[in-house]
């Protein structure tokens, strides 16, 4: 499996992390994993809703020292 594509949205507030992720996913091939880093606590619910509505798969989410990480697999 290839390394995920990294998108750093730390310091950005809702809705910017999701909007930047949406834009980044458009340029990726199906099956590619995008790892989004964020510091906005609202990003947890935002990315869950984003994946539910777009059909992309939220493979994992974690938090380390205030930095949230979301692994999203692009689905066509």
Domain 5-73 has CATH 3.30.110.40: yes
Backbone dihedral angles phi then psi of residue 65, each to the nearest 5 degrees:
55, 40
Instruction: Give the H/E segment covering residue 72.
Output: strand 67-73
The pLDDT score that the predictor gives to residue 2 is 80
Phi–psi pair at 57, nearest 5 degrees: -100, 125
Q: Which residues are known catalytic residues?
A: 14
The model's confidence at residue 1, banded by pLDDT at 50, 70 and 90, is low
Query: What pLDDT is attached to residue 76?
Result: 86
Listed by start position, the domains of the chain span 5-73
pLDDT for 73 beyond 70: yes
> What 8-state DSSP symbol labels residue 4?
P
Q: What is the mean pLDDT of residues 47-67?
A: 97
Question: Is 37 in contact with 75 (CB distance < 8 Å)?
Answer: no
């Amino acid at each position: 499996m290839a390394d995920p594509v990294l998108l750093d949205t730390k310091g950005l507030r809702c809705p910017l992390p999701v909007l930047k992720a949406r834009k980044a996913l458009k340029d990726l091939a199906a099956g590619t994993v995008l790892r989004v880093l964020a510091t906005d606590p609202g990003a947890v619910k935002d990315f869950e809703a984003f994946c539910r509505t777009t059909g992309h798969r939220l493979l994992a989410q974690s938090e380390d020292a205030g930095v949230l990480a979301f692994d999203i697999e692009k689905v066509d």
